[in-house]
Each structure stands twice: as structure tokens, then as C-alpha cells.
Amino acid sequence: MKGLKVENVTYSYGGPDILREVSCTFEYGKIHAIAGKSGSGKTTLLSLLAGLDLPKEGDILYDGVSIKEMDLSRYRREKAAVIYQSFRLFPLMNAFENIMYPMELKGINGKEALNKAKDFLAQVDLEEKLGTHFPNMLSGGEQQRVAIARALATDAKLILADEPTGNLDRQNSDNIISILRQLAHQKGYCVIVVTHDFNVLDSLDVVYHMEDGYIGS
């Protein structure tokens, strides 16, 4: 199967299980939600999907291959891009430089990287002139768009968004979800949004609900 497949995953941090026999699938061309209250296990599941750790039991398959068989550092660098609620932009880099950073790690520099950064900025509906602005000069919604553009610059086809609307007002939240939905539907990304904002769920393709470490649709 292409995309991500979670098979009977159980996980704990050394105490009671945080995830309990979780099974679900995530496909290219769709935007998915993992919804639930704080403490339900959704962020822990996202961290496993991002390759930050391995399941205690069960498995996670990326394009049919177990992540246990992969170099997790390379998986995180090339396969899975994470977008955070707090944006996590580099404060001493302007928007263009933030977007160019993943490309420079792969040896893409100079004019080529800048031109690509301009294209990614356009894909998230930001004016080119904002590329020279530093994060503290941008609104929360603009910072989140730059964070999405930086994720696109990794060339990863899996986008994991951890509460991407958590620090935004309703209009900006709707705009961010619209951008992520377009990336899935028009560009073929596999997009997974972790959220406790139930207002965004109606516009997503697949919704999984988590409670006490269990998952259901």
C-alpha cells in the first residue's frame, strides 16, 4: 500500500500504555485528521508517524516498508515533514532563509534555492515581498504559512501537522486548512492533521477519533 499504514500499534513511555492496538491508514491525495482531547494519545501517534520513536508493539509501514527497517534520521529528513502549532521558525532567518534551509541541507543553494523558495511562498498564498521579513514581523497566520512552505521545501510527500491552527483565529485557521487541503487534493500529498479543534473536521476527507489511546473513525 502507498502511504502510511499503522498496524496494531501499542506504545508507552514506561508506564501505562498511551496507545492501545491502534490501526489506521493514511493515503496520498487526502487530508486526514486525528482528533481527540488532550491526553487521548493523538500527539504520541503523530510522533511515531514522524519517526521520532518506534512502536512498542505493532508496526508502521511507509509505502509498504516498515519504518523499523529504515534509517529514521533519513526518514525524518526526506519522507515526513512536520508542522507545529508554535511554527518553530528560525528567528534570525527571514522567511526565504527559513524555507531555503531544508534545501541547503541537500546541497541546493544560491539562486536555485531562492527561486524555489519564492515558488513555495506563492503556493501558500503569501506575497513575495514577505520573504524578506523575519518571523517577528509576520502575523501568526503568515508564520504558519511560511512553516508549511518550509515543509514543502523538504520534498517529503507526507505532511504531519500538529495542532496547526491552535494559535490562530477562525479566519486564519480556515485559510491554513484550505492550503493543506489543496496540497492533498491538487498536489497529491498525504496530509495528517492532529487537532482538538472540531470546527475543522467537516472539511477533511478522513477523520479518526482518539480516546484513552484507542482509535476509531
Q: How far, in whole angstroms, is CA 215 from its chain's centroid?
A: 19
How do residues 14-23 score in pLDDT, each as one tens digit? 889 999 999 9
Domain boundary among 127, 155, 183: 155
- pLDDT of 122: 96
The answer to whether position 29 is within a domain reads: yes
Are both 40 and 94 inside the same structural domain?
A: no
The 3-state DSSP class for residue 48 equals helix
Cell 492501545, residue?
20
Mean per-residue pLDDT, 64-78: 94
Asked if 98 and 64 sit in the same domain, the reply is: no
Name the pLDDT band for 196 (thresholds 50, 70, 90): confident
User: Is residue 217 pLDDT above 90, yes or no?
Assistant: no
Distance from the first to the final alpha carbon of the chain: 20
Q: Residues 130, 178: one domain?
A: no
**Residues 84, 64 share a domain:** no
Tell whether 86 and 151 lie within a shared domain: yes
Summarised one tens digit per residue, pLDDT across range 49-68 is 999 999 999 999 999 999 99
In a domain, 75, yes or no: no
Number of domains in the chain: 2
Note whether residue 90 is domain-resident: yes
Is 1's pLDDT higher than 80? no
CB atoms within 10 A of CB 86: 13
Grid cell at residue 77: 529528513
pLDDT 10s digits, 118-161: 999 999 999 999 999 999 999 999 999 999 999 999 999 999 99
Whether residue 87 sits in one domain with residue 57: no
Domain containing 202 equals 1-70+157-164+172-217
49 and 86 belong to one structural domain: no
pLDDT at 38: 87
CA distance linking residue 6 with residue 45, whole number of Å: 10
With contact defined as beta carbons under 8 Å apart, do 54 and 45 qualify?
no
Question: Does the residue 7 lie in any domain?
Answer: yes
Q: Do 150 and 192 lie in a common domain?
A: no
Q: What is the pLDDT at residue 30?
A: 97
Residue with more model confidence, 176 or 217: 176
64 is a domain residue: yes
